[in-house]
Amino acid sequence: MSAVIIARHARTPAERFKDAAWVAFVALLLGIPMVGLTTVDQGGALTVQTRFGMLGAFVGVSFVGRFIFRWIIDQFRNRRAAKAAVAKVDRTPQVIKLIGWVVLGASVTMPIMFSDNRYVIDTATTVLIYVMLGWGLNVVVGLAGLLDLGYVAFYAVGAYTYALLFSHFGWTFWEALPVAGAMAATFGILLGYPILRLRGDYLAIVTLGFGEIIRVILVNWTELSNGPNGIGSIPRPTLFGLPFDRNPAEGTQTFATFFGIEFSGMHRIIFLYYLILVLALLTNVFVSRLRKLPVGRAWEALREDEIACKAMGMNVTNVKLSAFAIGAMLGGFAGVFFAARQGFISPESFTFTESATILAIVVLGGMGSQMGVVLAALVLVLLPELGRNFAEYRMLLFGTAMVLIMVWKPSGLLSSREPTIRLNKAAATGGQP
Amino acid sequence: MAYALQQLINGLTLGAVYGLIAIGYTMVYGIIGMINFAHGDIFMVSAFIAVTAFTLLAAFDITSLPLAITAVLITAIFFTSAYGWAVERMAYRPLRGSTRLAPLISAIGMSIFLQNMVQLTQGARVKPIPPVLEGGIEIWQSGGFTVQISWTQIMIVLITIVLMVAFTYLITQTAFGRQQRACEQDSTMTALLGINVDRTISATFMLGAALAAVAGVMVTVYYGVVDFFIGFVAGIKAFTAAVLGGIGSLPGAMLGGLIIGLIEAFWAAYLSPEYKDVATFAILILVLMFRPSGLLGRPEVEKV
């Protein structure tokens, strides 16, 4: 694509007015069929209802909004141009590292501060599930550069593996966890093997298809998955065999009786929170270590230039498969946790929207950036949560945020990427000082 | 035999609709190399516009059928093209030249936005309209089964053929078509030759949206019900059709659409209706494994 530099001159008020008027005109065009007119069911037949007041408001808001937005953007641009003139040392990596520690500290101490606020801890747990999923998908998309639109399939495989192992064989959370991870990884390899030679966008659409296939099978294969009704009464995880029930079964102890404290429903919520925190942190450590191993470097090399990798004699298929399998395994772990936390799973929870959300977290955060995933998960989970008071606007807000963040920062919120290896000065100059 | 013939007719009708949507995917992919994820939702917007327009016409007592259908088609094409243009301008143009994933995410966001916008402004309930075109011709009878082509099916196939002829003419014979193909091959060079690439891309989006608009009107007439979620499945199937035919190839998109329509109709009739979506995807995977450039696509040469 050609890079054209357009000289910007200061806009005159007339130009601003014209620009905003044009936007208002487009808003009018778009608004007539959707905002201005609607059909309502009256006595079994549809009738058209006009909402010109609402249409007028919509056009007016577009006009004023564009006018102000344009003005702010111009101010911002001027200021940034002035700033860019002053050379500055880029301290972003250090700042991100600092933020990372602060966030970690906050997430460890958070349940203590909000120990009686169930809603806050529940929401934080949801954020952490997405963080973990984001870190898992980051291996596939961010590091290996393989666009996966069906990641939710592995999440579903993990969740259903646990649910089925429990309902048929009575396995507990801790027994099912490794098996579910292995199962998801197997699915990753099974899917990956035939399709990994496809180019980026084709791969995306095939993975999307795979995600849908898994969902359709879960809905229709009633004998296996109980269909759309889902599987219920999945047991919660225990702390080294100590359950978090109110009344202990005969001859066993619960968390509360073992430690001699009074039973509280919050114990389990907080335990679940710490469990996912630990799982997520383990994921993070695991992925960061992998990045420094030969296989991790191979992933990143593959992302940058597949042909060069082939020329260097890398086994591209195996490298891709390893990324796929590890990403799938992490998704499977998250799925087990999800099933255990909800106590009930159904195919409803594993739709394409979920895949899109996880992918959005990875891309919005800045591909390959671990901190970015945390930030994006916070934004994407909390934003709809804030909009819960006007619940019907939740997803609208979500879609808008995805578009706006992309347009504002196409490479993600935290796009600065750490070099995988730094050559020291001597090595860089070929041994000569 | 008669049953199979009936499925063939149903499949071809469905395929024509998928083909029309698939052209939008294939053209956009050809010119800027991105999957326009919101295209299925553009189609859904058009179906809603058609519902409103039909209801409005009924309220004004316009009962002449050709007049009504023409009026609805024109209205739907006009407003839907506006949507196509606006989506490109807002969500994709600012991202031109950035990473490959950015426009895709923005497109997914746009798709979620459109779905929820329609759900909010038009309601989440299914919208039924009274049948527009009733009856048909019985063409064959055997073993107590009557093979019937409804007028709606004939109309859908005819309009699709007319559109395809017009569209082929537009792309192969006119100045705009030349510009469009030139941008597809090398947009930088095209820009150097004094062609407004941005405008051509906008026009491509509007054309794709216009064809999706026609498909939306057809589906409204054919099924008689519309809801805000129809865009997703139809979009995915149409994209599958575009890939199957060879992405970037216009006849390929139409052919892919017909094949997908036929597979779906026969699979639902003879095997299992629940798994018809699985069949579509399975075929997509098989095609991509053994013929990644699609049926009519040019094999892509990777350059270093």
User: Taking residues A323-341, what's their average pLDDT?
Assistant: 92
In a domain, residue B169? The reply is: yes
In a domain, residue B298? The reply is: no
User: Taking residues B199-212, what's their average pLDDT?
Assistant: 93
Q: Tens digits of per-residue pLDDT, B148-158?
A: 888 888 999 99
Mean of the per-residue pLDDT values of chain A: 81
- Sign of torsion over alpha carbons A207, A213, A219, A222: negative
Are the Cβ atoms of A1 and B188 closer than 8 angstroms? yes
The angle, 0 to 180 degrees and rounded to 10, between the axes of the packed helices A316-342 and A173-195 is 140
Mean of the per-residue pLDDT values of chain B: 86
In a domain, residue B250? The reply is: no
In a domain, residue B189? The reply is: yes
Statement: residue A286 has pLDDT above 80: yes
B-chain CB neighbours of A38 within 8 Å are: 52, 121-123
Give the phi and the psi of residue A128 in degrees, each rounded to 5.
-65, -35
A432 band by pLDDT with thresholds 50, 70 and 90 = very low
Statement: residue A1 has pLDDT above 50: no
pLDDT attached to residue A12:
79
What residues of chain B, 86 to 145, have a C-beta less than 8 Å from chain A?
A: 86, 90-91, 94-106, 108-123, 125, 127-130
A249 band by pLDDT with thresholds 50, 70 and 90 = low
Instruction: Name the domain count of chain B.
Output: 1
Statement: residue A377 has pLDDT above 80: yes
In a domain, residue B261? The reply is: no
Give the SS3 label for residue A48. Answer: strand
> Are B80 and B212 in contact, with CB atoms under 8 Å apart?
yes
The domain locations on chain A are 13-40+48-79, 92-408
CATH tag, A92-408: 1.10.3470
Statement: residue A91 has pLDDT above 70: no
In a domain, residue B129? The reply is: yes
Q: Choose the closest CB to B278 out of A47, A213, A307.
A: A213
pLDDT attached to residue A431:
44
Across A132-146, A195-209, A270-284, A373-387, least confident range: A195-209
B20 band by pLDDT with thresholds 50, 70 and 90 = very high
Statement: residue A376 has pLDDT above 70: yes
How far apart are alpha carbons B219 and B230 in whole angstroms?
10
∠ CA B88-B89-B95, rounded to 5°: 80
At B137, the amino acid letter reads I
B41 band by pLDDT with thresholds 50, 70 and 90 = very high
Q: Tens digits of per-residue pLDDT, B50-102?
A: 999 988 888 887 778 888 889 999 999 999 999 999 999 988 888 887 777 78
Compare all CA atoms of chain B with the CA of A191 and give the residue at the minimum distance.
Answer: B285
How far apart are alpha carbons A61 and B136 in whole angstroms?
49
Are the Cβ atoms of A206 and B284 closer than 8 angstroms? yes
A-chain CB neighbours of B294 within 8 Å are: none
A35 band by pLDDT with thresholds 50, 70 and 90 = confident
Q: Tens digits of per-residue pLDDT, B99-129?
A: 777 888 888 889 989 998 998 888 888 888 8
Percent of chain A with pLDDT over 70: 85
In a domain, residue B42? The reply is: yes
Statement: residue B140 has pLDDT above 80: no
Give the SS3 label for residue A237. Answer: coil
| Interface ipTM | 0.85
- Sign of torsion over alpha carbons B213, B219, B224, B226: negative
